[in-house]
Homo-oligomer: A and B are copies of this chain.
Amino acid sequence: MPLIVQKYGGTSVGNPERITNVAKRLLETQRAGNSVIAVVSAMSGVTDALIKLAREVSSKPTEREMDVLLSTGEQTAMALTAMAIQSMGGKAVSLTGAQAGIVTNGVHTKAKISNVTPDQIKKHLGEGAIVIVAGFQGETSEGDITTLGRGGSDLTAIALASAVDADACQIFTDVDGVYTCDPRVVPTARKIDTISYDEMLEMASSGSKVMQSRSVEFAKKFGVTFEVRSSFNNNPGTIVKEESAGMEQVAVRGVSVERNQAKVTVAQVPDKPGCAARLFTALADAHVMIDVIVQNVSASGTTDISFTMNRDELEKIGDLLDRVAKEIGAGGVSKQDGIAKLSVVGIGMRTHSGVAAKLFEALAKGGINIQMISTSEIKIAVIIEEEKIAEAAKLTHTAFGLDAA
């Protein structure tokens, strides 16, 4: 009998009515002749309410106790989901992360799964039950409750699918799948039927926040094919899997945009070993998350280093860079916000030449000036004025033949 893992996020189980809908879908899947494991997140809003409670008793709660507290959210959702299935005449059993055999390391609030021993799951599946597992949580080998951090429920689903060698892993969410571009930006965007792990990762890191990168990386590592689809309809979603020869026929899989970016340039950095290291070590120590880094070719013994980040990160920098610039003998520091990043992603660009040229041409057609360029093996990103990002995305989308027919 085929074995299917389905994961439902907080919005999908956001209230009793939606939980009932999830229960219906799980029962339908079972009645179609499958064994079914469901992974559920906490009902939307619950985690925030628990965090608020914690703040009322402690300004800085320990991470161990936050895990104990937050793990109750998924436990509540899993029990209610099992009850809803039972009330429709189905057989269901709920299991906490610990009961489901999800063993993690001891890094509270962002634990890593070290091992899955799905004995209880298999036992209950064998008895014909739909097994509901709490997402986002596990336990250490010493028996402490841990949580997996952001996107943890996706991770639970993929880890379980790997451990039980599932025939399918479906990530139900509030979007229909992965799109060639954000449909709110480019109305002609199409849903992508199949995408490789690497493309999905580049899309995720470029602003298409359907899933956290770590879940995709985990799936890639263990070769778990999964599907991202909507819990509000029955449309097929996007399959994420190992790349195959056929995928390379398309040069660009999608276009992603990220607004609210900021750029910092440190000018006239002495072209000596160690200067860039000093700069970025100082930023890392201040927990500033850097995105694109570009260093111009050195001329006359100095070089300009530019990098981008989320606009929110800019505040953390303060006068840090002015001090570091002085220390390393650089010229000066300039900061700029109101910029955005546009990326084109596709494993096909490895074999298709001229992708960069086509992108630059499309932007030039719209009179859009490129401030920075950064490339990886399967992605080209450009930094442009934020005001122009929608127009840029539409032009690029059309240029690469991604528009819906």
**Contact pattern, A 70-90, Cβ under 8 Å of B = 1, otherwise 0:** 011001101111111011000
Main secondary structure on A side of the interface with B: helix
What distance in Å separates the Cβ of A16 from its nearest Cβ neighbour in chain B?
4
Among A1-9, A59-67, A281-289, A345-353, the stretch in contact with B = A59-67
How far does the alpha carbon of A96 sit from the alpha carbon of B19 in the complex, in Å?
A: 26
Q: How many residues on A have C-beta within 8 angstroms of the other chain's C-beta atoms?
A: 41
Instruction: Let me know if A94 and B80 touch, CB within 8 A.
Output: no
Q: Assuming A62-B86, A93-B64, A120-B143, is B56 touching A16 (CB within 8 A)?
A: yes
Check if A99 is an interface residue, CB within 8 A of chain B: yes
Instruction: Let me know if A65 and B86 touch, CB within 8 A.
Output: yes
Q: Which residue of chain B has its CB nearest to the CB of A84?
A: B57
> Which residue of A20, A83, A145 has the most chain B CB atoms within 10 A of its CB atom?
A83
Check if A50 is an interface residue, CB within 8 A of chain B: yes
Query: B residues within 8 A CB of A370?
Result: none
Check if A54 is an interface residue, CB within 8 A of chain B: yes
Which A residues lie at the B interface, using CB under 8 A? 16, 19-20, 23, 50, 53-54, 56-62, 64-66, 68-69, 71-72, 75-76, 78-84, 86-87, 92-94, 96, 99, 120, 143-145
Query: B residues within 8 A CB of A53?
Result: 16, 76, 80
Instruction: Let me know if B76 and A60 touch, CB within 8 A.
Output: no
How far does the alpha carbon of A78 sit from the alpha carbon of B23 in the complex, in Å?
A: 31
How far does the alpha carbon of A297 sit from the alpha carbon of B68 in the complex, in Å?
A: 62
Instruction: Let me know if A76 and B72 touch, CB within 8 A.
Output: yes
Q: Which residue of chain B has its CB nearest to the CB of A70?
A: B79
Query: B residues within 8 A CB of A86?
Result: 58, 61-62, 65
Instruction: Let me know if A87 and B58 touch, CB within 8 A.
Output: yes
User: Can you list the 4 inter-chain pairs with the closest CB atoms, starting with the nearest?
Assistant: A58-B87, A16-B56, A69-B79, A72-B72
Instruction: Let me know if A16 and B68 touch, CB within 8 A.
Output: no
Instruction: Let me know if B93 and A80 touch, CB within 8 A.
Output: no
Instruction: Let me know if A58 and B76 touch, CB within 8 A.
Output: no
A80's partner among B57, B78, B83 (CB-CB below 8 A) is B57
A76's partner among B59, B69, B79, B96 (CB-CB below 8 A) is B69
How far does the alpha carbon of A60 sit from the alpha carbon of B87 in the complex, in Å?
A: 7
What distance in Å separates the Cβ of A72 from its nearest Cβ neighbour in chain B?
4
